[in-house]
Structure 1
Amino acid sequence: MAVFHEAPWSDPAQVLSALGERPWTIGFLTGGAEPGWSYVAADPAAVCTLAPEDSEDPIAALAALLGPTVDPDPAGPPFQGGVAGLLGYELGDRFEPIGLPRHDGWPDLACARYDALLAFDHAQARVLAIGRGATEAEAAVRAATARSWLDLPPRPAQPPGCELQADSPEAYEAAVAETVERIAAGEIFQANLARRWRGRLAPDARPIDLMIRLAATSPAPFAAYLRLPDRAIVSNSPERFLKVERQDGGLVAETQPIKGTAPRGATPAEDEALAAGLSASVKDRAENLMIVDLMRNDLARVCTPGAVRTPELFRLASFANVHHLVSTVTGRLAAGRTAGDLLRAAFPPGSITGAPKVQAMKVIAGLEGGRGPFFGSLVWLGCDGGLDSSVLIRTAAFVHDADGWRVEARAGAGIVADSRPASERAETETKIAAVAAALQN
């Protein structure tokens, strides 16, 4: 059962900052042109972490953590409590065994069940404190706990003080050139090849400081934060991976892959020209269409035959430092299929692997090594069977060691037959720019 307490508006990023140092605090911060709901949760009722050597089926583990699905409150937000957390990129190795290398001790899965959370309605400038429990009294206590988080003082802003250092540009360009050769040989059609940046936070800085800065300077529709006991993820993602919601007695799925990128212009005229050039780009549209076809195939594995549609192709979406092309694929899940089945069919996201997916993942593993949290997903699975999830791009991952917090960030580019190594390298620099700027003093 659920209890809802309405409260006056508070900035979700500031509320998140007050909780940001607690292990298992999570936040989903929507921003940009059409913000919807943001969520902040902490102090979970149960957690589940799967290391690479753990043999448990991840979808079964998520279902056990979530428990039985229940009907949602129709007046409530899309997420009314449930499971949330990280699906690392190499989780895909459990669905399609490839022998992917792992990265830096990151788990394949790190999720928790949240029975207390705050939901921030940007459209109506209101906050709902939500509690779930076996009884109304139990749910009311948890709603009161969530409501109390609004009274915590926000963390004072701290400059992250981190100058990211990029891996060799020559090495990245050589990897792009090799990928183009493998495309020409017919091995793959496309691969999303990423480049790495590394650094270390100033002694007094914490990962949450980057989240606060990005929310203020570069809001993104799928920004998210997860604090683990000795690790953290800060993501400023513009990309939805999978969404599942109830409609007309069934479950409807949606994915919105991004492919095609251009920088923002220094003047309105230059910006308009760059956007128009991206919209007209044969290369970028073809790159996008390859991933649309891949995602259509992934959704078709668990959707009603003939139900997969592409209602939107090549929509221009503009963010603080880039323009993107975004498409939308939808489908209705077949009877008896769940959001977990869809994750099994479609993970990891096609937009950051390539086509054909499995062979592209093999190429990427050989050139990049393990990815860990990068290009995986931060996800919530609602108590009603719904789901929403991001693609972990524009993301920084933090590990705490004896010297403090070290940080790594990655940005990728979709490599196709006519890719030019220098241009693809420049694209990674454009994509990482907002995260890199927010990490500096």
Structure 2
Amino acid sequence: MSYEHIEAPETGSKITLADEETGELNVPDDPIVPILYGDGTGEDVGPAAEEVLSAAAEATGREINWMRVYAGETAREKYDENLPTETVEAIREHRVALKGPLTTPVGSGFRSLNVALRQTLDMYANVRPTYYLDGVSSPVKAPEEMDMVTFRENTEDVYSGIEFEEGTEEVERVREFIEDEMGYDSIHEGPVGIGIKPITEFGTKRLVREAIDYALENDRDSVTLVHKGNIMKFTEGQFRDWGYEVAREEYGENVITEDTLWEERDGEAPEDAVVVNDRIADNMLQQLLTRTDQYDVLAMPNLNGDYLSDAAGAQIGGLGIAPGANFGHGRVLAEPVHGSAPKYAGEDKVNPSAIILSGRIMLEYMGWDDAAELVRDAVEEQIVSGRVTYDLERQREDATKLGTSQFATEVAERIEELA
């Protein structure tokens, strides 16, 4: 398609869908990849990620042709709107993209630009691999025990945006329906805000499939369904039940449930099989700390996933280095977990590791595992060296403080040395 404000690269090939049913991609060695720097420090970390990921591609005999797209503040400057249609369509068309942090302005018409992008593109799985890098300070004694991947359903739950504001005619109609027609009398008198929490079989099962497929493809031992089904029996309890249905009915001997494991096999799992179990969400928050190494892949509804993934990130040093991505059907939008930190924008100061490592997830999704491993190894070596950005430097006595761009340049140089 042609673009009004997006400048397409003169070289490069489009990533296409190789298999409609499975979502498998056909990735050329010179793909065009949209990149959205984002707001605030996105203007600093976006170019840093480009430099490092381009180095990893070149080191493995490939080339990324970046295509700058816009949302948030930069889109308002060019389009006078926050989320231009051509940005969404460019990402949809090219299937693989990287974005920095976005801030939703007050009165913009969006609850969240990030959520709007995910829902518009049907990026239904928020995926966060959480692992420890040597040299990063952590609040726990054994951060290296954390090597977990969270799969958070991205389109439903209380994030679906079905809310009714206090004092409106709509909220009173909903209250009247709940109390008079449905017979529930548990809403207190006086002003009330009401939200709807949809959990569907469709949304649940495609999320759980994505998690199980990931576990099988990456030699993970278990997938844990995290829910609050002991209280919310018809939403989160149903999430658990539908998740088990996927495990029992769709994967044959490749997947075994925890009940079957103990009732029929005395705890002995078949070789190469993934065990599917479930845990209550509040208990899982505790087990992140007390039994960290016993969990591999977590699959959960939207709100649980928000809490759990952030808590896991805290154990490996915080959200400043935590990567993330959103998976759709044959589509990925990689993005760091942290916010835009506008007070540091343009200061060449902040740590770009999170967006760089988010790019690593993007490379894995493209099937470029060799390039992805170079990125992780180079970032870790750079941190161990002590030549780091201010957030890591201030926690170590032997460190040298670097700016965002210098940190990225040295990581890129390490990739060349490692290749």
Verify same fold: TM over 0.5: no
State the TM-score, normalized to the length of structure 1.
0.27
**If each structure's strand is expressed as a fraction of its own residues, which one has the higher value?**
1
**If each structure's helix is expressed as a fraction of its own residues, which one has the higher value?**
2
Rg: which structure is higher?
A: 2
